[in-house]
Amino acid sequence: MATDEHAVNKLIPHLFRQEYAKMTAVLSRYFGWQYIDVAEDIASETFLKATEYWLPHGIPANPSAWLYAVARNKAKDYLKRNQLFETKIKDAIKPAETATDIEFEFNDAIIADSQLSMIFVVCDPINPAPAQICLALQILCGFSVEEIANAFLSQVETIKKRLLRARANLRTEGFQLRTLSHTEISTRLDVVLKTIYLLFNEGYFSQGEKEFIRKDLCSEAIRLTLLLAENNLTNIPRVNALLALMCYQSSRLNARTNDAGEAILYEDQDRDLWDPFLIEKGNYYFWKAFVNQEVSTYHLEAAIAYWHTTRTGDKWPQILQLYNQLLIMEYSPVSAINRTFAFAMVYGNEQAIKEAEKLDLRENSYYHGLMGFLYSGMDSTLAIAHYQQALALTRSLVEKQVFTQKIAQLANSF
């Protein structure tokens, strides 16, 4: 029986984001990195098959199980018909095994182990750290080239070249999906955490044109970080700090948009929509993050996120001091803009404008959005001008709506 086309078209992208990377990781576990393209092709063909089959026959009762069954069969078929089996893989298989004997299992334990192994092995220092992160975002997190470019505030062509070079370098080195030593894991952990951090950020504040929040990305980032926190080799303070940060931020997701999908600024959020369970989980992991004297950027950001989940009115001096520490440890334009907002909450808009002008971020939409906010109530003409510049610079449709509303409100105040 034919099913609703809209339901299929909505479900497939969701499942692709949720299952594609897992599927690719498990298949790569069997094929090896030198055949990562085969794993990616099989995963892609599986989702294409779903689109073709579900429209006339209906969505199966367990869509994920259906996908993994198809992927398993496609992998077996590939081994049967392709010369790869005879020339490359056969020697690595025990003599008693045949193509039909191999079981491509997709249980939770194998998926978790495959993804965790893959993300560490992909983050090979043979590539520069940015290239490692790009590759991990593409293979393990299912990011498109455009999404990676957004995360790095870079050009699509630059990212394409970076990915090609990174893949070529790993092939040259004879990449293998193998168990890493404790030293290798420790050396690569920072890049792994940065990858997961960028994954979460894209979900929390998407740079895409249509979506403002992508909860599936936030959930995936938390899931991957939980894998690290549950592993004895990687259960260290900054892992728990990152997990606390993501729990605190996720606790406010439901309050950040209204029923129409429009963005709601922090000061206008309904506090009753904040999730107390996630705040408590954040508190738990934040406490675990301080078992020693280590203080990372994740600790500082988690502390900032914690204060944002409190309802006390005197939190802004604490948030400002934390941003001051964060910028000393690691500067970023977004942190500098957020710090200026906190500065305004403590010292007022007029003083904050002077701080903002020092940033030299005139090509940044967030900067002009901040300046529009700071000038509102002081100089409506300048506020409108900044909101108009922010409107021109942002790609996000949701942000465009916010800036358009701000301009209309200010125009009506004349």
409: domain CATH number is 1.25.40.10
Q: In whole angstroms, give the CA distance from residue 232 to residue 229.
A: 8
Q: What pLDDT shows up at residue 175?
A: 63
pLDDT in tens, 375-384: 998 999 999 9
Q: In whole angstroms, give the CA distance from residue 242 to residue 226.
A: 10
Residue pair 150/207 in contact (Cβ under 8 Å)? The answer is yes
Lowest mean pLDDT among 26-30, 110-114, 147-151, 157-161: 110-114
Q: What percent of the chain has pLDDT over 70?
A: 89
Q: For the chain, how many residues are written?
A: 414
Whether residue 348 has pLDDT greater than 50: yes
Q: What pLDDT shows up at residue 1?
A: 45
Q: What contacts 24+ positions apart, CB below 8 Å, involve 96-99? A: none
- Over residues 51-63, the mean pLDDT reads 91
- Over residues 233-256, the mean pLDDT reads 95
Q: Of 106, 137, 172, which marks where a domain is finished?
A: 106
Residue 25 resides in a domain: yes
Q: Of 106, 137, 152, which marks where a domain is finished?
A: 106
Q: What pLDDT shows up at residue 114?
A: 75
* Cα dihedral sign, 268-270-271-276: negative
Q: Which domain holds residue 398?
A: 323-414
Q: What pLDDT shows up at residue 275?
A: 95
- Span between the terminal Cα atoms of the chain, in Å: 59
Residue 388 resides in a domain: yes
Residue pair 280/259 in contact (Cβ under 8 Å)? The answer is no
pLDDT in tens, 182-232: 888 888 899 889 988 988 988 888 766 566 788 888 888 898 899 899 888
Q: In whole angstroms, give the CA distance from residue 363 to residue 340.
A: 17
Residue type, 87: T
pLDDT in tens, 248-298: 999 999 999 888 777 888 888 899 999 999 999 999 999 999 988 889 999
pLDDT in tens, 384-407: 999 999 999 998 888 888 899 999
- Over residues 58-67, the mean pLDDT reads 91
Q: Exposed, middle or buried: residue 145 (CB in 10 Å: 0-12, 13-18, 19+)?
A: middle
Q: What pLDDT shows up at residue 9?
A: 83
Residue 370 resides in a domain: yes
Task: Return the H-helix or E-strand segment holding 211.
Answer: none
Residue 56 resides in a domain: yes
Average pLDDT for the chain: 85
Residue 403 resides in a domain: yes
Q: What pLDDT shows up at residue 31?
A: 74
Residue 228 resides in a domain: no
Contacts with 3 (C-beta within 8 Å, 6 or more apart), sequence order: 54, 55, 57, 58, 59
Whether residue 98 has pLDDT greater than 50: no
The number of distinct structural domains making up the chain is 2
Confidence grade of residue 75 (pLDDT, cut at 50, 70, 90): confident
Residue 143 resides in a domain: no
Q: Exposed, middle or buried: residue 178 (CB in 10 Å: 0-12, 13-18, 19+)?
A: exposed
User: What are the structure tokens assigned to 211, written together?
Assistant: 């979506």
Q: For 113, left (φ over 0), alpha (ψ -120 to 50), or beta?
A: alpha
User: What are the structure tokens assigned to 88, written together?
Assistant: 């490359």
Q: Of 71, 91, 106, which marks where a domain is finished?
A: 106
Nearest Cα to Cα of residue 24 among 122, 125, 132:
122
Residue 73 resides in a domain: yes
